[in-house]
Chain A
């Protein structure tokens, strides 16, 4: 058994085990154990990755495994990781682990809840390890479908509407994506020979520019919808607002990253010429995303809406940096995915915990919560500071890498839009401080808040895991940034070779 397939198999085994057990406590324990193993495995993977690299293995992808799956169309189950996928896998395992603890007290159909949640995570893991775009797409769908059930059944507010909207928009993206991927597939052997879905194989050939022009926008928008690309981001506020805590965490923390990851691993990597040609359109769209999401967040009243708009802004920055197509900016994009994944998961976890106590998410109905729940309050402040890019926490590292990288572009256009994107740091500060001030500080507005309790042990596990990850990246970013940077080199080489 290769280590990568374990990432898909362990969730499946966990799901099977959950089916067998009887009471909710066992369900939780098994989920926690399964995802704990997953977390350890991710830690081991990082270790093994560095061990391989230090041993001088400079292959583009490590731990490769290839099984023919459907020979007639040359579909393989191909897995392999580079530093980027390793980082994303680590992110996913942390978020899923925290998510399990954040949903400890789900009391309506807990078994089914955890089954869907863990199934979703297996899809995400599968996506990150796949090197075959068909398999990748398959896992992508595996990740999206349980989302519908999770929001539709365990959500709050207008949950059916939100679930439907989210799923339909993502499916619309999938449809575009499918066409794009098949387009890449049919052009994957311009010089004759068998067609292939394998990313590494396709990367070696030069897809005709006409085909690239046609399929790049489809692929990019297809992934971009998942990454909240303006103007296809509107599923995000409604979806997040209705989703249960752990689902918001996973969705904003991990699933949205599938978009960014896919956009760069498939759209940019496989279709570089068209990417160069058409990037300006998407750069404009993403820089709008960045500023627009931040402005949109300022006036929202619902905590989850604020966060959803902030995610639009931050994920816009990911796509923005990916499109800059230089090493530093892309490095920043991956860092931003990880950093945003962690901090937004933390945000949603905390919002869920606060909502579970106050039964409201409207900031003007709250106030002074710091006094009654200092642990959650401090954690919320940390999440907020990470989000507005305080040094020492992960957001700063990611944003600065993106800004410095984008600003190194020789083109004045790119530098000007970078400055536009940079201005988002002020707007972010405005809405974050507005929320923190209204939510945690000031006098207590509602007397029954005085009886509220601080975090329980399982909530503390969830929060502390995420905070530690955020701080670890923020304080010592070098290893992560180097791990990503080294793996970016082949991609950058390809981008520069393709450009005459």
Chain B
């Protein structure tokens, strides 16, 4: 057995560098802190690649299946005799795959930010937060138990909060960060309740015993409990609420577009490639439990994912802020992944969706990070992120143009680029499982191609915009990550995922099913062609279409008014109709009662204070007469 105990260093290195940069960063030159952070992350990345190599190719399998390896484990706190939270490292195919994703993207973002954030105030703070995020995300993917996952889940949430609010002097950034934190926190409430129910039923937090398909945990709580679903299903649905919040699934998606207020590299790292897929990872982590004891839970996952992907794709077609388009695209692609796990079942070929979903997670991380970093380079050059300020940029930014085009082709599902394979597997799984979802996803694939090429043509072709100062290509620190990720986007599809990452650890026979692949290629090309016609040159077609589908267009442009609905619920209902009355009640009822008691005491004493007249003779009279009366009383009483 290979010794994996060194893997604990992978998350520990970033936190160590976080402390160094955080405590001493304001004293050192900005670039030094950036280099320190990047060095730390490169070490972690190298260790991760080594781990992946060791795990996939150098570890003996049992019955041909990859095993879960507990590389490190220590008790963090004891709750009861059975329930204890451990901190540790769990290696299995998905966590090792996530290690690669997180460290690769994080390293690319670290390098990219050396150029992008140059000269920004708080450069050291930025790198400190990036390290904190990398630590939290690595801790999350390596978690050995659901509670450790929850802990790091919260930590990634707060890192995301800090990074979205990086420009803390900008009110919009502050409110975006608050919104992101509170919405995901609300989802985490569901996660926590899910954990509580799950642990109450199964008596364990541990992933290995939870997901042991022959174990007792997985079979518990299967009786019908509430509204026709078992306790287990309910707990997993609650857990999924947490995942949906982090992964910006409908209706908890509203924080993701606003989160684009953060620096663009942050959007690439957190809000495209790593943190937002945590929800998919969570479902994947608990997949055997979902698949075996709560298939209804998976159905919920599939429908939520499918609806979110359609919903987001429609909105993405109408947005003008390039980062928001990408944000909705992210949401839509995560919807795909959710569909992938949702239509899958445990074991064998049934597990195709699971494999496809993980595959798509991997490829998506590469091309979406590339898109965001490309967008960052464009914003860096144009100083705007609204696409109406752009146009004809292909002349000025050749590298960004090519890499961006590669990413767009990938996401559109053009054959033999990476996303073609992964998306195709998801569609195949959906085709065999649920035809409705299959057609929705097929349509979304077309929409995806359309809005991505709308973005592409609008930025790099269309009219020649006049710029105040000529846009210039990004520095090397920024273009190297772009090129690396472009290569990854092209070739990631050739990684034999079906042999490595599957629901039961056994290799799977996956091949392209042309009955699914051909329609998907057709809709993809159709989407691209429509975008070509509409946006290659400056035309009036978009306006015409927009006004002929006015209702839909305006709705989608305003994100179907979900922000307004949430604002209504929070501002109006919670703030004005709950909190204010509570505060009023506290002051004017509860406190007034207490003051009232004091007031009554006061009033009574005011009334009787006349007895204290200050006339000594009056006192003497009362005294004497009372004494006499008492004397008479006692004589009368005791003489009987």
Contact = CB atoms under 8 A, between A and B. Distances in A.
A–B interface present (Cβ within 8 A): yes
Contact of B79 (A230, A328, A389): A328
Contacts of A234: 586, 590-591, 594
B578 A295 contact: yes
A299 B580 contact: yes
Contacts of A300: 583
Interface stretch (B152-160, B440-448, B555-563, B624-632): B152-160
A230 B580 CA distance: 18
B320 interface: no
Given A234-B594, A392-B155, A426 B189 contact: yes
Interface in B157-195: 158, 165, 168-171, 174-175, 177-178, 181-182, 185-186, 188-189, 192-193
Given A295-B583, A392-B155, 18 more contacts: A165-B594, A231-B593, A237-B586, A295-B582, A296-B583, A298-B574, A299-B580, A385-B158, A390-B158, A391-B151, A407-B200, A408-B83, A437-B178, A440-B168, A441-B174, A443-B169, A477-B76, A477-B77
Interface string A426-450: 1001100110010011110000000
A3 interface: no
A368 B579 contact: no
A418 interface: yes
Interface in A271-300: 292, 295-296, 298-300
Contacts of A397: 77
A425 B196 contact: no
B491 to A, nearest CB: 38
B169 A434 contact: no
Interface string A213-233: 000000000000000001111
A40 interface: no
Nearest to A475: B76
Nearest to A235: B594
A299 B578 CA distance: 10
B579 A295 contact: yes
A299 B196 contact: no
A404 B199 contact: yes
Contacts of A422: 189, 192-193, 196
Chain B interface size, as a band, is: 35 or more
Contacts of A168: 598
A77 interface: no
Contacts, number: 136
A299 B79 CA distance: 35
The 8 closest A-B pairs by CB, nearest first: A391-B151, A234-B591, A298-B579, A441-B168, A295-B582, A441-B174, A407-B196, A429-B185
B78 interface: yes
B182 A429 contact: yes
Contact of A430 (B78, B182, B193, B594): B182
Contacts of B583: 295-296, 298-300
Contacts of A404: 79-80, 83, 196, 199
Contacts of B80: 327-328, 404-405, 408
Contacts of B514: none
Among A298, A423, A482, max chain B CB count under 10 A is at A298
B575 interface: yes
A296 B200 CA distance: 32
A292 B185 CA distance: 19
Interface in A300-341: 300, 309, 327-328
12 contacts: A165-B595, A231-B593, A234-B590, A292-B586, A296-B579, A300-B583, A397-B77, A407-B197, A415-B200, A419-B196, A441-B165, A441-B169
B640 interface: no
Given A423-B189, A425-B189, A408 B578 contact: no
A346 interface: no
B178 A434 contact: yes
Interface in A383-399: 385, 388-392, 396-397
| Centre residue among B168, B197, B199 by max chain A CB count within 10 A | B168
Interface in B292-320: none
B575 A299 contact: yes
A153 B200 CA distance: 52
B185 A426 contact: yes
B186 A426 contact: yes
Nearest to A399: B192
A146 to B, nearest CB: 22
Contacts of A481: 77-78
A148 interface: no
A295 to B, nearest CB: 4
B3 to A, nearest CB: 25
B75 interface: yes
Contacts of B26: 374
A371 interface: yes
A403 B196 contact: yes
Given A165-B594, A401-B79, A408-B80, A296 B586 contact: yes
A370 interface: yes
A379 to B, nearest CB: 13
